[in-house]
Amino acid sequence: MNNQPNINEQLDKDLVKRVQQGDKSAYDLLVIKYQHRIIQLVNRYIKDPSEAQDIAQEAFIKAYRALPNFRGDSAFYTWLYRIAINTAKNYLLSRSRRYSDYQVDIQDAEQIENAPQLQGRDTPEYLLMNDDIVNTIETVIDNLPEEMRIAIMLREFEGMSYDEIAQTMECPVGTIRSRIFRAREAIDKKLLPLLDKR
Amino acid sequence: MVDDINQKISCFIDDELKSNETLDLLKECQSNPTLQNKLNRYQTISYCLSSKKVLPIREDFLSNIQQGISKDPLYFSTVNLQPKKSYRTLMALAACVSLIAILILKPSEETPLKVNIVSSSTMAAITTQPEIDQQKTKQKNNPNNRFNDYLQAHNTSLYTNTAVTFQPYTQTASYKQN
């Protein structure tokens, strides 16, 4: 089931076509589908989560405006990915010019990912919250029943598909699906109060 | 029922949903903010497990984008492109037809022209025979022509106007000596 890029690409193509024909609500579906991936991607360039989300939003808006020119030569996500990276790099360049602390030109933009001084710094509050949540998740996983813990760890740490996990654990795919879901539910219950505190 | 949808969200995060199921789930998330929050939290958990970093999504993330694009015009690029393509095709077709028409008609136009030319020249040949005789007598009376005739008759000059009367160099030299 994990090797479904073609099917998902077809879904993306259908949604893109609907947007191009004037259906704005189809774009919401594309945003919901890719928002987290794009925020994660932008966060590699811009460390501050709030700023990263602003830039991710900007990238989605830019992509919407450029959609009439999207011919589908590449997959929608690949195209969106490039827009997000360019938006993040342009933001960092404009910020570096604004503060003029660092001399950056276009060529240097490629190196931004490896330049932490340009990415912004994590605030103490963010670091504290981050540690709190990571510790909570680790504690919940440690206390999970063994079969659930192994299933979620194979999925999250090893990146295995449900089929592969099912073969490894010698049980049906449906069982693996259920175990991973229940593990996530257990973590979510403990995490909800922490995320609400933000 | 809720568990079923939540399980689908879990599968969606792991790219384990079929295309139609994904579409249904996305539509449900679009209309139900609680489901959207659930999806965001599951994604946060997943990212946190793999990267040890927390990256929660703001609840207004989608609505901000909707606001950003709300003033933008609706795009009908696909709809607009099709008439353009058909218009271009029609133009190309029309150009081809006209070119073919020109190519077909051109010889048929030239043939009557040739016929006309031939017929006119024939007619001219017939009607102007006395005129040619008159021209010949005129040419004969012309002093230049008479001079040429003289030179040709003596056959020693280079100043004749045709190649037939052109003399070899030795003869020309002997003429000069004389």
Q: Which residues of A touch B19 (CB under 8 A)?
A: 4, 7-8, 10-11
Q: How far is CA B57 from CA A47, A56, A78, A106, B38, in A?
A: 14, 11, 21, 30, 11
Span A101-131, pLDDT tens digits: 444 454 555 555 555 445 555 678 778 888 8
What is the nearest CA distance from B11 to chain A, expressed in angstroms?
A: 7
**What integer pLDDT is reported at residue B59 of this predicted model?**
86
CA dihedral B109, B113, B119, B123 (to 10 degrees): 140
Out of B45, B52, B55, the one facing A184 most closely (by C-beta) is B45
pLDDT at position A184 over 90: yes
Among B40, B54, B58, most A C-beta atoms within 10 A, so best to mutate, is B54
Residues above pLDDT 90, as percent of chain A: 63
- Record: contact B15-A2, CB cut-off 8 A: yes
Residues above pLDDT 70, as percent of chain B: 59
- Record: contact A177-B7, CB cut-off 8 A: yes
CB A55 within 8 A of CB A91: yes
**What integer pLDDT is reported at residue A9 of this predicted model?**
84
Span B65-93, pLDDT tens digits: 999 888 776 655 444 444 555 677 888 88
CB B10 within 8 A of CB B39: no
Quote the Cα angle for B45-A138-A129, to 5°: 65
B15: amino acid identity, one letter:
D
Whether A49 has its CB under 8 Å from any CB of chain B: the answer is yes
pTM, two decimal places:
0.66
B153 or B116, higher pLDDT: B153
Residues above pLDDT 70, as percent of chain A: 83
Q: Which residues of A touch B2 (CB under 8 A)?
A: none
In our burial notation (b when 16+ CB lie closer than 10 A, e otherwise), range A114-153 reads eeeebbbeeeeebeebbeebbebbeebbeebeeebbbbbb
**What integer pLDDT is reported at residue A1 of this predicted model?**
46
Span B119-165, pLDDT tens digits: 555 555 555 566 667 776 666 667 777 777 777 777 655 554 555 55
**What integer pLDDT is reported at residue B153 of this predicted model?**
76
pLDDT at position A28 over 90: yes
Distance CA A155, CA A162 (A): 8
**What integer pLDDT is reported at residue A192 of this predicted model?**
87
Residues, chain A, total?
198
Write the burial class of residue B131 (CB in 10 Å: 0-12 exposed, 13-18 middle, 19+ buried): exposed
- Record: contact B26-A29, CB cut-off 8 A: yes
pLDDT at position B38 over 70: yes
Among chain B residues, the shortest Cα distance to A156 is held by B50
Tokens of A64: 């919407």
**Mean pLDDT along residues A5-15:** 79
Q: pLDDT category, B23, cuts 50, 70, 90?
A: very high
**What integer pLDDT is reported at residue B79 of this predicted model?**
47
Question: Which residue ranges form the domains of chain A, and what is each CATH number?
Answer: 5-117 (1.10.1740.10), 124-197 (1.10.10.10)
What is the nearest CA distance from A118 to chain B, expressed in angstroms?
A: 19
B 26-45 → A contacts, CB under 8 A? 26-27, 29-30, 36, 38-45
In our burial notation (b when 16+ CB lie closer than 10 A, e otherwise), range B151-174 reads bbeeeebeebeeeebeeeeeeeee
